[in-house]
Structures are given as C-alpha cells and as structure tokens.
Structure 1
Amino acid sequence: MGVRTWIEGWPVYRQLVGTDPLGLGAAAKSARSMALTPRTETADSMARSVCPYCAVGCGQRVYVTDGRVTQIEGDPDSPISRGRLCPKGAASKNLVTSELRQQKVRYRRPYGTQWEDLDLATAMDMIADRIIAARDETWEETDEAGYLLRRTLGIASLGGATLDNEENYLIKKLFTAMGAIQIENQARI
C-alpha cells in the first residue's frame, strides 16, 4: 500500500479535504464499517415483547431467524423505555438461548444427592398433591371466637419479575380461591 493510498484512506484526511469537515458522515466511515450490516437485517420476523427481569416493563423487539431467537433489542415504540434497556434487559437473549438453560423438569428427592428428570404430568401431580395436603393440614374454618375465617397460612405465593400483570392477576385469583392470604409479587416489594 502506497503512502498516497494510505493518506486518502485515512478518515482525518477525508474529513479535512472533503465536504464533511466535522466528521459526522461519510468522512468518518471506513470501507469496513460501510460493509457492515445490522444483526437484525437478516431476521425472518420480529415480535414485540416485554423484558422479563423487573416490574418496569421495558419494551423489547425479538428478532427470529429460522425459528431461533437471534437478537433482542429495546423497542423504540415503547412509551416506557423508548428503545432503551438496562444491562440485564440487554442481555436477555441469553435467557432464552443459553446452553445452560434447563429444558426438563428436574427433581431432587428429600435427602437425595442426585437430580432426576421427571415428565411434566408427574411433576404437576406432585405439586397438586402437596398443595392439597398443605391446605388440608393448615385450614382454619373459624377463629377462637367463632368468626368465619376460611383460610390457610400453610400456602403462600411470591411471584417473580418474569410474570406479567395478567399472570400475577390469575395467580392472585387462584391462591385466593384456595384460601391463601399471603400473596405477593415482585412488583409490589
């Protein structure tokens, strides 16, 4: 590469002799940067979503290629975040694409030292049986004075930040119908 070629390819030279003296446009672009394309350009589809990490509800755009999530970015159309994401939200692609993500129901028996895989139906039956047993063991129909209570203190719910308003609403209704009174979610804490 000759000196002249090197000087003409230098962005400062293009800035000084060209029509872009402030270096805000073409003068600042190199051949390499002009050849770059956005990671989202080749996506097959884009879906709007909400960041799962906290109760703020920042909007996200989820880009999908060949049925796999390829990029997650802030949604500029969101009135809450206006396209911005915190570091956790910006890293949420890893939440759905990480090789470390569990894809099966894992169970460790009491006093056990090993995890075992369970099918979903078995796990759901185990959870239902334990909820019913805890409710039956701790049910309070009335207090000492005879006032009607119809509650249990043996079941509680603490919803996480990955639950949206609708899910928290349904969980509140479900646990209230079972007689639980200790029902919270991360948005209220």
Structure 2
Amino acid sequence: MGQRVTGLWPVLRQVTGSDKTAHGAAVRTAHTDAITARTETADRVVKSVCPFCAVGCGQDVYVKDEQVVQIEGDPDSPISRGRLCPKGSASKSLVTSPTRVTTVRYRRPGGTDWEDLPLATAMDMIADRVLQARHDGWQELDDRGRKLRRTMGFASLGGATLDNEENYLMKKLYTALGAVQIENQARI
C-alpha cells in the first residue's frame, strides 16, 4: 500500500519518470483531469473595462446562466494586453459578493436607521438638493459689479476609477450648473 500511495505523489513521478520538468504527466492526477475551467463552460463572454483605476484595463467577463462566473484580462486590449493587477483580478467579487448592496440606502438627517428607497425617488432627491444648493450659493455679480454667474454651493471631486469620457461629462455638467470647484482625485 505504501508503494501505491507514494507512487501517486507528483514529486516522485517527476523524479522517477520521464517528465523531469513537471510540465506534463508528473503533475496530472485524476482529480485535475476532471476539473473544467469556468471559462470553458461559460455561455458567452462580455468585453468590459476594470472599474478600479483610471488605467482602463480590458476584461473578459464570462457569463453562464446570466451570472458572472469568471473575469480575466482581455488579451485583445491594447492597454493591458490580457493582464490584470490583483484588484482587477478580484473584481468578480464586485458583482457576486453576497454582501453587495443592490438597493438605494438612505438615512434621514438625524436618523439612526437606514431605509431602502426606490431609485427614482433617490434621483429626485439628489436633483432637488443640487438645484437648491446651486440657488442658495449662486453669485451673479462680485462686489465690484462684475458678472460671475457661478455657484459656490457645491463642488465635484471625481475619482480615479472614472474614465476620460465620464470625467469629461462631469466637467461639462458641473460647469453648466455654474460650479467652479471641479477637481479630480487623480490630480491630488
């Protein structure tokens, strides 16, 4: 029995067999032969971009039964050429984690408990508050009578996870609203 068990050890198969570099049969077992990669059983592959930083590494998102089963680097991406950093490699947990919040959570001023809100209600609340802050902080003229047409009622701090297009749209939106305090975390 001892001979049979030790004969199964990959190191012994490597030393005693023809696969001295352990790139073939020496490391294969019935268990490894029975394993199938999640990428092989996926129904489809969706091209995406990693959300973690502004580099924009390409990702292949493997989907089976409308569920994300694997995320890997996109070898066709001219930016990352199939490579992902540790955060990008672990990004599957962003969409599959059981602790992921999938509802709008709101805690009223002075409140101690969170409540769920419909997305439309939350968006209306945000729009109302932006418009009110714009109105309350509006400066039409400076103290010498020069036109300013700006608000100091709110500011924007973009994050490094936003791509160029998102940052461009944010800059245009906040400028159109009259904000002058528009910055990006990537420059700080």
Match of 1:181, SS state, is coil
Measure how far apart 1:49 and its partner are.
Answer: 1.0
Task: Provide the secondary structure at the position in 1 that maps to 2:101.
Answer: coil
Report the AA paired with residue 124 of structure 1: M
- Post-superposition Cα deviations, 1:118-155, rounded to whole Å, max 9, x if no partner, equal 21222122111111111111111122222221111111
Aligned residues: 188
- In structure 2, relative to structure 1, the CA distance for the partners of 1:15 and 1:105 (3 Å cut) is closer
Report what 1:166 is aligned to.
165
Cα distance, 1:62–1:145 mapped onto 2, change above 3 Å: same
Helix, strand or coil at the partner of 2:32? helix
Show the counterpart of 1:146: 145
Say which is worse superposed, 178-187 or 107-116, in terms of deviation. 178-187
**Which digits, 9 at most, give the CA deviation of each residue in 1:34-81, with x for residues without a partner?**
222212111111111111111121211111110111111122222222
Q: Aligned equivalents of 2:26 and 2:99: distance in 1? A: 44
The equivalent residue for 1:44 is 43
How far did 1:187 drift? 3.3
Matching residue of 1:30: 29
Q: State the Cα distance separating 1:174 from its structure 2 match.
A: 0.7
Q: Secondary structure at the match of 2:95?
A: helix
Partner of 2:71 in structure 1? 72
1:32–1:150: structure 2 CA closer, same or farther, 3 Å change rule?
A: same
- Structure 2: how far apart are the matches of 1:13 and 1:107? 61
Q: Which moved more, 1:145-154 or 1:160-169?
A: 160-169
**Secondary structure at 1:146's aligned position in 2?**
coil
TM-aligned CA deviation for residue 95 of structure 1? 0.8
AA of the residue aligned to 2:35: L
Structure 1 Cα separation of the partners of residues 57 and 88 of structure 2: 8
User: Which residue identity is paired with 1:90?
Assistant: S
RMSD across aligned C-alpha pairs, in angstroms?
2.0
Amino acid at match of 2:93: N
The TM-score with structure 2 as length reference comes to 0.88
Provide the C-alpha distance between the structure 1 equivalents of 2:102 and 2:6, rounded to a whole number of angstroms.
55
Where in structure 2 are there 5+ consecutive unaligned residues? none
The alpha-carbon deviation at position 111 of structure 1 amounts to 0.6
TM-score (normalised: structure 1): 0.87
Partners of 2:11 and 2:119 in 1: how far apart? Answer: 62
Aligned to 2:122: 123
Partners of 1:65 and 1:164 lie apart in 2 by 28
> Residue 48 of structure 2 aligns to which amino acid in structure 1?
S
Percent sequence identity over aligned pairs: 68
For residue 170 of structure 1, report the CA deviation from its aligned partner: 1.1
